[in-house]
Structure 1
Amino acid sequence: MISNGHGEDLIALKIIESLHRLQPAWTVKVLPLVGQGSCFQGAIDKGWVQKIGPGARLPSGGFSNQSLGALLSDLMAGLPLLTWKQWICLQKERKSTAAILAVGDLLPLLMAWSIRRPFGFIGTPKSDYTWSSGPGQALSDRYHALKGSEWDPWEWHVMKRRGCRLVAMRDRLTARGLRRHGVNATSPGNPMMDGLAQSDPPASLERCRRILLLCGSRMPEALNNFRRLISGLLQMPSPVPLAVLAALGSSPHQNELGELLQNLGFRSCPPPSSALEAAECWVNGPVLLLIGPGRFHRWVAWAEAGVATAGTATEQMVGLGIPALSLPGRGPQFTHGFAERQSRLLGGAVRTCESEQELGRRLAQLLNDPLLRQEMGRMGRQRMGPAGGSEAIAREVIGQLAPEH
């Protein structure tokens, strides 16, 4: 399994978990091209996944395609040498490898093809919804419309190679666009929605309006985005009892937030209930802020709406029918272009705001308009699709890439 980013790692892990249930005797090795692949550690500790190859934290966090500056910073940090070492590692694994599954975009696709073993490709970041929805006036939109696919001709070329036995896209629209170009693409389902379940909030939160806050995990961008999102919430025109569920990833660490929150007028307090599973609790007037590292899967179903500067987690949230507002920043990940693309991908289930003041004002409107929340939630569920994609893809992997006896 080759993956190139935090979201791609998570998708790869969900597919691996389904493969392990269906084929427990298989040996699965993972090569994360970006970062350390920390999400695989649990499976590695259990002994049914092996991690190979060198890893490194790049300045862009894997988003070198967002801007020229991000690309240059990654190049200066040694991206070409890292990629070369990873390719050499794959070459050494070639004789003991039955097949390769690449998750992501062009780089893992090329890596899988170059090893000359049977391979499959899970195309996660691109969707034809991003150019076929919305105004479509940008030059890139016209370029994609001219091709009839967000994927490029050189990518079609690799997907059509004889060794490529499986191509799976995130939605039917994108798969259909590739089939028009001779790629045998399918859309078995979206693994991102697996493992998420609806649940009722605890009684201690029932009198509050509930907001999920997702600031991303790439530092220092995530810390700055956390501050901006909290500042926006504090500027809501009609203060109401508000429970803000800040579901953190691997970073920023909760210890890095104390001084920031104190400067914003928050004071620390005991959590109102142990059922909340909060690591820390802060309060500022009618705003109750709960800090919870690794609590996304627990808290996401409790929210009425979200504020976000994240990628994969935002898509998962709106896929559950929870509308969201985003606040683009300086990047390198969550730039204005990224936010607009995300909004169009999700059919407006997440909507961008230009300032902290606009975020607070529009969040108040969203909370007071149940019909708007319902419509945005409906679109999010439609664009992300139902759960079950991981097992469906795993079964296609077994059918198309299983070692021949």
Structure 2
Amino acid sequence: MLVISNGHGEDLIALRIIEAIHRLQPAWTVKVLPLVGQGSCFQAAIEKGWVQRIGPGARLPSGGFSNQSLGALLSDFMAGLPLLTWKQWFCLRKERKSTAAILAVGDLLPLLMAWSTHRPFGFIGTPKSDYTWSSGPGQSLSDRYHALKGSEWDPWEWHLMKQGGCRLVAMRDRLTARGLRRHGVNATSPGNPMMDGLVPSAPPASLERCRRILLLCGSRMPEALNNFHRLISGLIQMPSPVPLAVLAALGSTPLQDELRKLLQGLGFRSCPPPSSTLQASECWVRGPLLLLLGPGRFQQWVSWAEAGVATAGTATEQMVGLGIPALSLPGRGPQFTRGFAERQSRLLGGAVRTCRSEQELGRRLAQLLNDPLLRQEMGRTGRQRMGPAGGSEAIAREVIGQLAPDS
């Protein structure tokens, strides 16, 4: 089986499904073709030998969000997007003769590529949900366009999903699957793989006397560094009569050398972590604010938080899916623009709420921490919108049932 994915969040979802397939069918050979970035999340599985990677990869200026603006699209074109896509398609054509089936994870591009092979394929539609336009208050032209269609997905995408070679269509929620079924697509919603692999745990004793905030700035540079600066600036302005522990769960970027210069400029000073159990790589302090930096610590830290501040995509959805309310602060993009943040807020039913400035972020976070009923309400909505864990195995069973060579 060949799995095509087009983005960091899509890669993570694809990996969860591949892991479940490997548990259920360890004899299957699985190859991956990440269309955006380097597909680094697959590296451990590749080193263990049960996943193979094919095709060229490249870091695009938009980080895979060329659909967010014309400028992002033009920057990707100038960086070689057409040539990269052609090379990936050519690689796919070479592989199709030795491939029994294809699983596309993402949106139109992997769906189109899977269809073009003329092999049996399945499609996991991850980024689109009818909640983004059906639950209001969106009044933009795009919201009205989706309402007119009755689906977040477009007619050309329905057409590809209804082709005879498409054996499986799985959406992230029942509402979106129901909208597609009205257009003749046999869509299901077995579960949301994003919530798999997250194991809640109690915060360590060293943080019990602190209010605990999870900070997610994303990992696409230089946007992530700019957003980190803005989020921290908002937290600095927040009135806090008690110690505030900010858990900055980082990706591979921004680099900590870059963060050190930024933090020093904001008046932070380096200090030893209060406990080795935190597994923080660095610790900084400014007044009552304790900042812990933790590359790769998202899964460990996320359930410790009482609330979050975020300019991220998939990780924000996972956080609110665990019942942790969040505030977002849109920036210049290319990913986390105001339009993206507002769509994310509608998708999650207001479990994450957008702020217009650093000052508003600090003020509303203080209100959120002082209002346990509001935190419970937002957390309950987040859990409902994201659904429970277990989606990866449910989808894997459908993949095996529909795309196995003898099916």
TM-score range for the pair, normalised by the shorter chain length: over 0.9
Distance 2:101 2:76 in 1: 30
SS at structure 1 position matched to 2:22: helix
Q: Is the 8 A contact 2:202 2:303 kept in 1?
A: yes
* CA deviation after TM superposition for structure 1 residue 32, in Å: 0.2
**1:191 corresponds to which of 173, 190, 193:** 193
> How far apart, in 2, do the equivalents of 1:166 and 1:36 lie?
27
C-alpha distance in 1, partners of 2:118/2:38?
26
1:398 corresponds to which residue? 400
Match of 2:293 among 278, 291, 294: 291
Aligned to 1:16, the other structure's residue is in SS state helix
Partner of 1:386: 388
The alpha-carbon deviation at position 237 of structure 1 amounts to 2.8
SS of the residue corresponding to residue 257 of structure 1 reads helix
Code of the residue aligned with 1:43 in structure 2: it is: A
RMSD value, Cα? 0.7
Cα distance in 2, alignment partners of residues 253 and 383 from structure 1: 33
Give 1:149's aligned residue.
151
Q: Is 2:6–2:110's contact at 8 Å kept on the other side of the alignment? A: yes
Note the alpha carbon deviations across 1:105-163, whole angstroms, 9 max, x for none: 00000000000000000000000000001223111111101100000000000000000
Aligned length: 405
Superposition deviation, residue 239 in structure 1: 4.1
CA distance in 2, matches of 1:315, 1:195: 14
**Residue equivalent to 2:112:** 110
Distance 1:91 1:210 in 2: 50
Question: Structure 2 residue aligned with 1:332, among 331, 334, 348?
Answer: 334
* Structure 1 position 238, deviation (Å): 3.7
| In structure 2, distance between residues paired with 1:294 and 1:40 | 15
Partner of 1:75: 77
1:300-311, aligned counterparts within 5 Å? 300-311=302-313
C-alpha separation between the residues in 2 aligned to 1:369 and 1:159?
Answer: 45
| Alignment correspondent of 1:12 | 14
Structure 1 counterpart of 2:46, from 44, 47, 58: 44
Which residue of 158, 163, 166 corresponds with 1:164? 166
Q: Which residue of 2 is the match for residue 252 of structure 1?
A: 254
Partner of 2:236: 234
In structure 2, distance between residues paired with 1:207 and 1:239: 12
Aligned to 1:217: 219
The aligned amino acid for 1:364 is: A
Question: Which aligned segments of 4 or more residues in structure 1 are displaced greater than 3 angstroms?
Answer: none
Partner-residue secondary structure (3-state), 2:346:
helix
* 2:240 and 2:288 in contact (8 A); partners too: no
SS at match of 2:285: strand
Q: Report what 1:354 is aligned to.
A: 356
Per the alignment, residue 84 of structure 1 pairs with: 86
Residue in 1 aligned with 2:270?
268
**AA at the equivalent of 1:380:** G
Sequence identity percentage: 90
Letter in 2 for 1:313: A
Q: Report the alpha carbon displacement of residue 258 of structure 1 after superposing the two structures with TM.
A: 0.6
**Offset at residue 240 of structure 1 (A):** 2.7
Q: Give the TM-score taking structure 1 as reference length.
A: 0.99
2: CA distance between counterparts of 1:19 and 1:4? 20
> Which residue matches 2:374?
372
Higher deviation after alignment, 128-137 or 10-19? 128-137
Aligned mate of 1:99, from 82, 98, 101: 101
Paired residue type of 1:165: R
Q: Can you give the 5+ residue segments of structure 2 that lack an aligned partner in the other structure?
A: none
Give, in whole Å, the separation in 2 of the partners of 1:325 and 1:137. 21
TM-score (structure 2 length as normaliser): 0.99
Equivalent in 57, 60, 77 of residue 58 of structure 1: 60
CA distance in 1, matches of 2:395, 2:319: 22
Render the CA deviation track for 1:322-379: whole Å, top value 9, x for unaligned: 0000000000000000000000000000000000000000000000000000000000
Per-residue displacement from partner, 1:178-214 (whole Å, max 9, x unpaired)? 0000000000000000000111000000000000000
Give the distance between the partners of 2:97 and 2:406, measured in 1 at CA. Answer: 15
**Distance of 1:287 and 1:11 partners within structure 2:** 34
